[in-house]
Structure 1
């Protein structure tokens, strides 16, 4: 299924780009995101809880940045699964930033999303509405955060003390 949309943020394109490439902020803005861990310069592991029609699923996701053209474009690929592969998610994502004359940035997003397994059994319309609602919630959270913060900052409570298995983990 294809999900796409736009929203505006009252900030410069450079500022919006700095924020959207900050994993600490993404952990706070992505609905259901429980943690994000950087596993390479261009890859992240995330734990995201999604509920659809009374079923809750916790997805272990890997997000790979496949192309960047700062400060206007980020392409990424998301792959992951729920626990025992009860549901599998795959998405190819595009995020564009266009600076408008008013000092506002228009954020455009598009994703080709595939969900199979127990969550994939829901009608396309139900899944699409859920994903669109999550996109709107993300946009609202990101807009609110950027418009009230001057620069991206990792909140102290979001950091986990590094250990061999959790170095680079950010909890929301």
Structure 2
């Protein structure tokens, strides 16, 4: 599976770089991430629970950063084992481009391979899930590192309604 894209983030390139290298920020943003630990300046271990179609699995993985070019980008590669559900391995090239003083364009090109029960689900389901997870990550990442305007609070949750528009 190959995937590429760009995301505009309302933060300086230096702040985006710091966020991409901060395990606490990454833990908040990676869908299903339960733990992430920095083992060395270029290695992290992580545990995430993901649901891909009917298969829910807990993955234990290792992530390695290489080709570091602060604050312009790096290459990230990783491998995760999901027990009987299978495995996932892949990598991405991340490039940061300043967009004025207060915004950054994050470009990425990623490749991934899966095996085991997950691979039996079919490419369309896996690709769709991967794109959704990437979208969720970038949305949360942008929110985590973008400065909030003064006096602005988080938006209130919409009122929940049940059948026929009645309040719950």
Give the structure-1-normalised TM-score: 0.82
Q: Per chain length, whose mean CA-contact separation is higher, i.e. which structure has more relative contact order (CA < 8 Å, sep 6+)?
A: 1
How far apart, CA to CA, are the structure 2 residues paired with 1:117 and 1:24? 30
- The answer for the alignment partner of 1:103 in structure 2 is 102
**Structure 1 residue matching 2:138: 3-state secondary structure:** helix
1:102: Cα distance to partner?
5.9
Alignment of 1:7-86 (within 5 A): 7-84=7-84, 86=85
RMSD between aligned residues: 1.3
Q: How far apart are the structure 1 equivalents of 2:7 and 2:70? A: 19
Cα distance in 1 between the residues matched to 2:40 and 2:142? 27
CA drift at 1:101: 2.8
Corresponding residue of 2:145? 146
**8 Å contact kept, 2:11–2:147:** no
Q: Aligned residue for 1:124? A: 123
SS at match of 1:60: strand
The CA deviation string for residues 110-145 of structure 1, in whole angstroms up to 9 with x for no partner, is 211001100111111110110000000001101111
Residue pairs, 1:85-96, within 5 angstroms? 86-96=85-95
Which 4+ stretches in 1 moved above 6 angstroms?
none
How many residue pairs align between the two structures? 148
Take 1:15 and 1:81, find their aligned partners in 2: how far apart are those partners?
Answer: 31
Query: Within 1, Cα distance between the matches of 2:90 and 2:143?
Result: 26
Q: Over alpha carbons, which structure has the higher Rg?
A: 2
Determine the C-alpha separation between the residues in 1 that align with 2:41 and 2:105: 26
In the alignment, structure 1 segments of 5+ residues that lack a partner are: 150-172
- SS of 1:101's equivalent? coil
